[in-house]
Chain A
Amino acid sequence: MIPIECYFALSALLFFIGVYGFVTRRNLIAMLISVELVLNAVDINFAAINRLLYPNGMEGMFMTLFVIGVAAAESAVAIAIIINVYRKFKSDSVDAIQNMKR
């Protein structure tokens, strides 16, 4: 049986990879993918904790499914926004869109 620490380590690794990608990437799509990684890290935590610590309950699993659903909806909205941003600025780089300033 794989110890729970391994799951936590994987989850932490994924989370920080996601955060790192979100902060360093300029491409909007890449940033979106990074956000998905962060969400997946959370999902792994939920699933692992449910499976190993509370085997009789199913709340963690449901929460995981719920997060996947929300993530799908969020990506759909985000991609729609990105497409509109691309149409307007002819670029998918965040540095191009600094109109929010002031």
Chain B
Amino acid sequence: MFSYTLFIMLLPLLSFIVLGLAGMKMQHKVAGLIGTCSLGIVTILSYLTAFEYFGADRVDGVYQTFVPYNFTWLPLGNLHFDLGILLDPISVMMLIVISTVSLMVHIYSFGYMHGEKGFQRYYAFLSLFTMSMLGLVLATNIFQMYMFWELVGVSSYLLIGFYYPLKPAIAASKKAFIVTRFADMFFLVGILTFGYFVDSFSFSFAGDIVMGQGTTPFIEGNIAKAVAAGGFIIPTALVLMFIGGAGKSAMFPLHIWLPDAMEGPTPVSALIHAATMVVAGVFQIARMFPLWIQYAPEAMSIVVWVGVFTAFYAAAVACAQSDIKRVLAFSTISQIAFMMVALGVSLPGHHGAIMDNHAQLGYMAGMFHLFTHAMFKACLFLGAGCIIHAVHSNEMALMGGLRKYMPITHITFLISCLAIAGIPFFSGFSSKDEIITACMEYSPVVGWIMTGIAAMTAFYMFRLYYGIFWGTENVEAHEHHTPHEAPATMTIPLIVLCVITVGVGIYSTLGGFLGWGGSFGSYVSAEGTDYTIHFNTQIALTSTVIAILSICLATYIYKGETQPIADRLYKQFPKLHRAAYKRFYQDEIWQYVTHRIIFRCVSTPIAWFDRHIVDGTFNFMAWGANEAGESIRSWQSGDVRQYAVWFLTGTVALTLILLCI
């Protein structure tokens, strides 16, 4: 069963190898087709997997976990590193998200990257990325996850730096790589701590696993031993892993790489830096969720507050950015923080049971938001790509009034904006509403803060929307180059993603109000049981009203030909605007901390020690040998008779010495 899942990982790897080795000899179209076709097959297989997986019977009301492949790659005493494929509700859900978005991006890139130099390389990297991300979600153990985690980082680095002749692209790719690597160091330490104490890297702590056909219930590793060794060990390991996840998912203060990552081609931003890779951290928490909830429930408040602060911070910055991709980048950070908060608030209740309804809600909401966000954020980014393609700039100032020129982009962008703002009948509404409900149950403070941030989200998204499609047209910029609608390869993915957004939205909104089963919660929930989404009418109404109010506010301020209110606000609070525009000086703070404090106080002495003490010792030895050789060099005159005299003298001296003794 599920033996075909192996091809889900092998096909993108194969197309990466083919395109990477032979791509430069191919025509653009052929290379693109190879990449897209292999991904098309992967998508079909992913949907088939999902269909079969969710179609299979539940055991005790829980979806089983399948491990179609698992082999020991590196045995090390008690520990062993495995490679394999694990299917459970979240990994199957991620399969759908990754393959769908990735396929859309592949198709879209035909139009967007048309005629670009390195087109084949681009597709090769896309395949590599897809393979690594699929490997990450299908991993059977933390170590495999970590390997693919790093591969994802590498492909992100390669794709951000795709336009490598441009300096900002190189700087951004390096920044992304170094920041995430820095965070991954903590992840690795966490993994090793966990492995050392638990004797296993396997994810099978969650419960029964079906190996191939027969059921063999086993829980690998010895969590009890780790708990006995000290109650803080598992929470520490989990928090260290969370730092790694926070780096990849751009949580404050490790978020600094994500806005810069927008230097990459826009479809890449859509695929990697909005929809799939950045949710790796969320996925990691979800993966380790059984451990979090049983052994480290207190530590989850860290996840909550980091998430809350990041969501607020990113939303505040997004309100002031002028580069459309930056706005979307910060909105991504904010939305991912929503998912983190949702997972963090999934605390066990006080009723004895390890997981009650409440825990299920937060977890389910986080995963649901991951799913819906991937779809509408990919759509927003691809839409932004169409706009950039038409205007040849990222700056909002050069846009305005584009709705006449690009109707399809306009409509899809509007729908995605409505979804992210949380308007009923669009997918973002259901998931965000569930998150806020979970937060309210956790603590009303968090709940109201998240409601406020949701309002900010609606505001800045509509600021963006009006800035691009309404307002004053920049006639000057449009004169020598009239913007035009993107080609069909670019608009079809937009429409597909929009249909998913609206379809999921209508079904889940109606289902949520009427209490239908078969919605997202039936498939993915903390325990794998059927969870029926029920909206809390009061919260749903409140958040809808607030979202609509902030959209109205944005309309009032930004829709007009001129924007007197925005200008007045800007004049009144120039410092605040400037600080928000500069992202509250986070980059500068990091720059200061790394350059002034770490480089100067730590790295410089270490470098001095290395250069003068370590290198000095060896240089001294080399110098000594050199000097000794130099000083006896004149003895070698080449005069044979002189050698003979020395030889004779030596012999006589030796004889005398021997005689004396």
Contacts of A99 on B, CB cut-off 8 Å? Answer: 638
Separation of A94 and B648 alpha carbons in the complex (Å)? 18
Residues of A contacting B640 in the complex (Cβ-Cβ under 8 angstroms)? 31, 94, 97
Most chain B C-beta atoms within 10 Å of own C-beta, residue among A23, A31, A95, A98: A23
Is A1 in contact with chain B by the CB < 8 A criterion? no
Check: B72 CB closer than 8 A to any chain A CB: no
Q: Counting CB contacts under 8 A, is A100 at the interface?
A: yes
- A10-24 vs B, CB cutoff 8 Å, 1 = contact: the mask equals 000000000100111
> Restricting to A88-102, which residues have a CB under 8 Å from any CB of B?
94-95, 97-102
Question: Chain A: how many interface residues by the 8 Å CB criterion?
Answer: 14
Q: Does B636 make an interface contact (CB < 8 A)?
A: yes
CB atoms of A95 and B636 under 8 A apart: no
B645, A94: Cβ atoms closer than 8 Å: no
User: What are 21 A-B residue pairs whose CB atoms fall within 8 Å in the complex?
Assistant: A19-B648, A22-B641, A23-B645, A23-B648, A26-B641, A31-B640, A94-B639, A94-B640, A94-B641, A95-B639, A97-B638, A97-B640, A98-B638, A100-B636, A100-B638, A101-B636, A101-B637, A101-B638, A102-B633, A102-B636, A102-B638
CA distance A95 to B638 in the complex (A): 9
Determine whether B644 belongs to the interface, using a CB cutoff of 8 Å to chain A.
yes
Q: Mark B623-650, 1 if CB is under 8 A from A, else 0.
A: 0000000000100111111001100100
Chain B, residue nearest A100 (CB) = B638
14 additional A-B pairs beyond A22-B641, A101-B637, beta carbons within 8 Å, are: A19-B648, A22-B644, A23-B641, A23-B644, A24-B641, A31-B640, A94-B639, A94-B641, A97-B638, A98-B637, A100-B636, A101-B636, A101-B638, A102-B636
A97 CB to nearest B CB, Å? 8
Chain A residue numbers with a CB within 8 Å of B638 are: 97-102
Q: Which residues of A contact B633 (CB under 8 A)?
A: 102
Q: How large is the interface on B (under 10, 10 to 19, 20 to 34, 35 or more residues)?
A: 10 to 19
Per-residue A-contact encoding for B208-232, CB less than 8 Å = 1, 0 else: 0000000000000000000000000
Q: Which residues of A contact B639 (CB under 8 A)?
A: 94-95, 98
Chain B neighbourhood of A97, CB < 8 A: 638, 640
- Of all A-B residue pairs in the complex, the 5 with the closest CB atoms, nearest first, are A101-B638, A98-B638, A94-B640, A100-B638, A23-B644
Give the Cβ gap from B638 to chain A, nearest Cβ, in Å.
3
Q: Please name the residue on chain B nearest to A95 by beta carbon.
A: B639
Residue from A94, A97, A99 whose CB has the most chain B CB atoms within 10 Å: A94
Contacts of A94 in B (CB 8 A): 639-641
B636 proximity list for chain A (CB < 8 A): 100-102
Contacts of A22 in B (CB 8 A): 641, 644
**Least CB separation from B648: chain A residue:** A19
Q: How far is the CA of A100 from the CA of B636 in the complex (A)?
A: 8
Q: Tell me the nearest residue of chain A to B645, going by C-beta.
A: A23
Determine the residue in chain B with the shortest Cβ distance to A35: B644
Complexed CA–CA distance, A102 and B630 (Å):
11
> Which residue of the partner chain A has the closest CB to B637?
A101
A99 to B637, CA, bound (A): 9
Complexed CA–CA distance, A99 and B636 (Å): 11
State how many angstroms separate the Cβ of A51 from the closest Cβ of chain B: 25
Which residues of chain B are within 8 angstroms of A23 by Cβ–Cβ distance? 641, 644-645, 648
Min C-beta distance of A19 to chain B, whole Å? 6
